[in-house]
Structure 1
């Protein structure tokens, strides 16, 4: 045991960033001593051996080794955690440098050997081209990937268009009038494939953004010809509600409610709290018992004994919750007690029950059923962004799917475009091929960065068009009579924000915060989800600019405080039991999120693909 402890201590010392920085300095002096031919042995014979050994293996590129280790050590000293792929990139830079220098017989044994093999196999010039390309990828992978993405897109667009059609398109541009302002647009294609390509190009931030050029005073020296949105090809047809499952029928819980009500009265009497249960409402996950306190009774007394009451009722000490924010029940204390036979909520009943209210909304989200059995439906356009949190097993992923399906039942691809970012690679895979998607489901972090930055450019372009047209938001712009180029709403859904922030940090947080701050009037809205609602993930800027919160069960009171600014989410029951914070309403609303299966999503996707 003592030897094992000594070994662990030695490993910790060697992995310490200050030790690594000292090693990098030592390696640099070893190389300097070797370069002097061993005449100035200020590091002794060991330094000479190390210096000559590194030079023999790596040649001139051996000088990159102390530079690389010193850079890594400084990053760790400053608290900047590097991804594992960064270490491989740095190692690749050193080895590739040795091989490139090996072409001039100065790459040491490693560089010279690898270069000899490459030169014999591929030839001198092809080998150098490949080595320089790999070197650039290791040095700046994100920038190089963007170059290849744009080159690939350019080549595909160049060779996939028939010359005759291109000539017809270029000569078919026309002019129109829009409320007395001149509009310069290009002729548009009505094919669904062109619609997807146009939207993908627009989101990725290219110059051919979807927005008309409104005449009048312009900041540009010349009018810019921009491609409008494709002609609307979808009518008023929407998916059938029969594609969705109905809610589970209510079970007879009168005996359970009656017994629990009597036990609450007994518990209040035992703890000398003056009050009595006067009303009971059974919801899908809890039964709410309204207690009327008598004169002189303090709510703090009931809160203090709440864990004891919960134990008295046969539940964990944090299972029973007080709700003081129920409208129409002023003067009564709502005690929420979990029921043993929870009811599964289907999205079909929610859509049916909220059809009247959602008709006036631009982006209706059916959140779920509250504790009193009433449906909760909000307009994302008014929210305007939503933050979703929940640990494993809390029902967060299914709830996000139900929010997306809620949008699919309301709007066609002409009016709603979805950007789905899924670092886990499996959560949104069943939405692949959906016509509402802008491009493909994004699974790589560098693609997510490029997409979000492209959205900020779309936002800026839309604001320029709104300013020229004299409108405040896209709803007013789309209502312009005779407008041939309406702007669809764009909903960005990020399933695991923590993974993106851990890998890219400010590169992700920057565009996310900018969209949250400004994108509302431009019709771009965010739904951000995370399993880890910690302070380093949900930063102050994100909390300030994303006012809507939907929280399922989290790991601790600290996480609940981060997401809701109060405790409570750690005591939820899981499987869709959540708390919703609407900035336009008072307090928290406890809800049961609806259940949506993959088969239901597939049926809805097939409908939109063949409509």
Structure 2
């Protein structure tokens, strides 16, 4: 018998009687466990023994114990979770404005009172109104064209809305957003709400130390809480220490064109080629200027509002500028979109609807651009504004020209290389000459909007597109695939660091027809017959200097009856590249036919035609 064990048992019994120890059994088991496993091993064995005893007594399995521990652990770690309340919406009876007075709500959607339009020109202008609402302009200097601006009475007027029910929804949405952030451990509050015609932007101010990526990652959760699938998060809002959460309105307000042209932004703009586009997400009217862009690319899927946007652009020019100051060159391969404008005094020529003849119209524009630069050099000026100021007294002003192409894809299918070259040259050089491009397409693929075209047209408008790839093609970033359609757009001019979301203005076909009919009754339409002859008869303006061998090459192919590059190489003793350029030039002039594979090209003129020229 171990005397140490006996001594321990006696000592344990005495400690037990004094309520200070574990008794005889405790001393007995403690001695053997300590001798066998040491101090650490003893604690481990005792812990397992206690666990097994509890399982036997409670009839629980290890799996059930782990499952309950898993449910209890989050409540222990996140002590604030017990304060989370289920997200609910206030009913009409529960609604109280006083509870949300700290949130500033800005609503610009109410239609502004019409302001008399003023035509910004160099001359002093006086306004008079007729009984029928027509606005006339009297100038100290009489213009060559007695142009009258269409009256406002032929345009649809906006309706005044009652926004009480909308305000309740807006406050509820703000509370839901804050509670959603709180449930995910993000401390943030809605500080400002901007109510727009189709989108309401909630400015969320996060607490210091909150990563923006955490808020952006909750887009789907916010969408679920608000029961709205089209949530867009802008993090951060440019110029503000806040995150913008854009939520579509349940009832969208239509932005009418009349609201834009009666706004202070449109009236006070100094440019004579303004763009009245629509209202931003806060409901403010946005009016830009083409000469500041200076060229614009518009893209969007079918039915997204692209054609309506082009109509508003044309109408904003008609209501601001006289035909002496601005001329339009409209190219519409779809035939039915822009043909309604035939007969208005702003047109240089009738709307070009043939895709093949569109190339000749653009070629004329390039030639006109070069002609203007030679005129500027002769008068020692740098741009159209300086030239018009210099010759103002001589009554020799030249108008600005806005070239609008409604469907670029159709033109690229007919003559891709020529169209791309003309657009590139105009985009690179035409701004100072007072010529501006607006190009639209519903197929924003890389074979239509080529890299060269994108590089030279810095300002973009994107309507709703079908995929993120299309959005990147237009804007070089995603976002357009989340737009709502029906005029919802992203406006990205070259001067902006980020695109701005707008609700485009709507103008009906009936309003367009009324305006065009009013202008046609003035009988001021004077088309340029020289340009019409160039476009109709497929005559090309020589953009570059003609090859000195071109006349000899023309006589050669007429005498031979066929044309080919190899023929010119042999007879004229020139290289392949020069012979190919001469053949291309003759094709553009309508002298020889198109490429027919291995067959030589057909000669389309006779010797008599050469003698006549």
Give the TM bin, normalised by the shorter chain: 0.5 to 0.7
1:398–1:595 CA contact under 8 A, matched in 2: yes
1:346 to 238, 243, 256: 256
CA shift in 2, pair 1:467/1:439, >3 Å: same
Q: Is the 8 A contact 2:195 2:201 kept in 1?
A: yes
Structure 1: segments with no counterpart, 5+ residues: 1-230
Q: CA deviation at 1:426?
A: 0.9
The residue aligned with 2:173 is 260
CA distance in 2, matches of 1:306, 1:355: 34
Q: Distance in 2 between matches of 1:332 and 1:357?
A: 32
Deviations 1:538-572 (A, max 9, x none): 11111111111111101100110111111100000
Residue number in structure 1 paired with 2:219 = 306
Residues 1:489 and 2:406 aligned together: no
Native 8 Å contact 1:325 1:588 kept in 2 = no
- After superposition, where does 1:1-150 map in structure 2 within 5 Å? none
The 3-state SS of whatever aligns with 1:505 is helix
Q: Paired residue for 1:147?
A: none
Question: Partner residue of 1:61?
Answer: none
Structure 1 position 370 matched with structure 2 position 276: no
Return the alpha-carbon distance in structure 1 between the equivalents of residues 441 and 266 of structure 2: 32
CA deviation after TM superposition for structure 1 residue 470, in Å: 1.0
Secondary structure in 2 matching 1:604 = helix
Note if contact 2:271-2:289 (Cα within 8 Å) is conserved in structure 1: yes
Is the contact made by 1:560 and 1:570 (CA closer than 8 Å) also made in structure 2? yes
Greater shift, 302-311 or 288-297, is seen at 302-311
Say yes or no: does 1:580 pair with 2:491. yes
Instruction: Measure, in 1, the Cα distance between the counterparts of 2:144 and 2:223.
Output: 57
Q: Which residue of 2 aligns with 1:507?
A: 418
Residues 589-608 of structure 1 correspond to what in structure 2 (within 5 A)? Answer: 589-608=500-519
Counterpart for residue 278 of structure 1: 191
User: For residues 457 and 573 of structure 1, what CA distance do their matches in structure 2 show?
Assistant: 41
- Residue in structure 1 matched with residue 5 of structure 2 by the alignment: none
Aligned 8 A contact 2:236 2:243 in 1: no
Distance 2:488 2:274 in 1: 20
Worse-superposed segment, 444-453 or 263-272: 263-272
What CA distance in whole angstroms lies between the structure 2 residues aligned with 1:599 and 1:494? 22
- Once the two structures are TM-superposed, the CA of residue 592 in structure 1 deviates from its matched residue by 0.5
Aligned partner of 1:293 in structure 2 is 206
Verify the 8 A CA contact 1:552 1:579 in the aligned structure 2: yes
Distance in 1 between residues matched to 2:506 and 2:352, nearest whole Å:
24
Establish whether residue 518 from structure 1 lines up as the match of residue 421 from structure 2. no
Alpha carbons 1:281, 1:287 under 8 Å: kept? yes
**CA gap 1:485/1:375 in 2 versus in 1, 3 angstroms:** same
- Checking the alignment, whether the CA contact within 8 Å between 2:303 and 2:485 is kept in structure 1 is yes
Contact 2:299 2:461 in 1 (8 A): yes
8 Å Cα contact 2:212/2:235 also seen in 1:
no
1:581/1:587 contact within 8 Å kept: yes
More deviation, 254-263/523-532:
254-263
Q: Could you report, residue by residue, the CA deviation over 1:429-483 in whole angstroms, capped at 9, with x for unpaired residues?
A: 2212222112111111111000000110000000000111111111111112423
Report the alpha carbon displacement of residue 327 of structure 1 after superposing the two structures with TM.
5.3
Q: Is 1:448 the counterpart of 2:358 in the alignment?
A: yes
Structure 1 contact 248–344 (Cα < 8 Å) conserved: no
Return the match for 1:387 from 297, 303, 312: 297
Distance 1:321 1:277 in 2: 16
Q: Are 2:147 and 2:323, in contact at CA under 8 Å, matched by a contact in 1?
A: no
Q: Report what 1:425 is aligned to.
A: 335
3-state SS, counterpart of residue 479 of structure 1: helix
Structure 2 equivalent of residue 90 of structure 1: none
In the alignment, which of 403, 411, 416 is matched to residue 321 of structure 2?
411
C-alpha distance after superposition, 1:61-108 (max 9, x if no partner): xxxxxxxxxxxxxxxxxxxxxxxxxxxxxxxxxxxxxxxxxxxxxxxx
Q: 1:325 to 1:458 in 2, by over 3 A?
A: farther
Tell me the residue number matched to 1:9: none
CA distance in 1, matches of 2:255, 2:451: 34
CA contact (8 A) 1:430 1:598 kept: no
Task: For 1:428 and 1:274, locate their aligned partners in 2 and report how far apart those are by CA, in whole Å.
Answer: 53
Match of 2:344 in 1: 434
What CA deviation, in whole Å up to 9, does each residue of 1:350-388 have, x standing for no partner?
111145665411310011100111111111012110100
Greater alpha carbon shift after TM alignment, 262-271 vs 590-599: 262-271
Distance (Å, rounded) in 2 between the aligned partners of 1:390 and 1:555: 9
> How far apart, CA to CA, are the structure 2 residues paired with 1:282 and 1:482?
49
The alpha-carbon distance between structure 1 residues 325 and 398, as it changes in their structure 2 partners (threshold 3 A), is: farther
Which among 435, 443, 447 is matched to residue 536 of structure 1? 447
- Mapped to 2, the partners of 1:325 and 1:484 lie a distance apart of 52
1:224-263 matches, within 5 Å, as: 232-235=143-146, 237-252=148-163, 253-263=166-176
Equivalent position SS for 1:467: helix
The structure-2 alpha-carbon separation of the partners of 1:338 and 1:355, relative to structure 1 and needing over 3 Å to count, comes to closer
Give 3-state SS (helix, strand or coil) of 1:341's partner.
coil
1:232, distance to aligned residue in structure 2 (A): 4.2
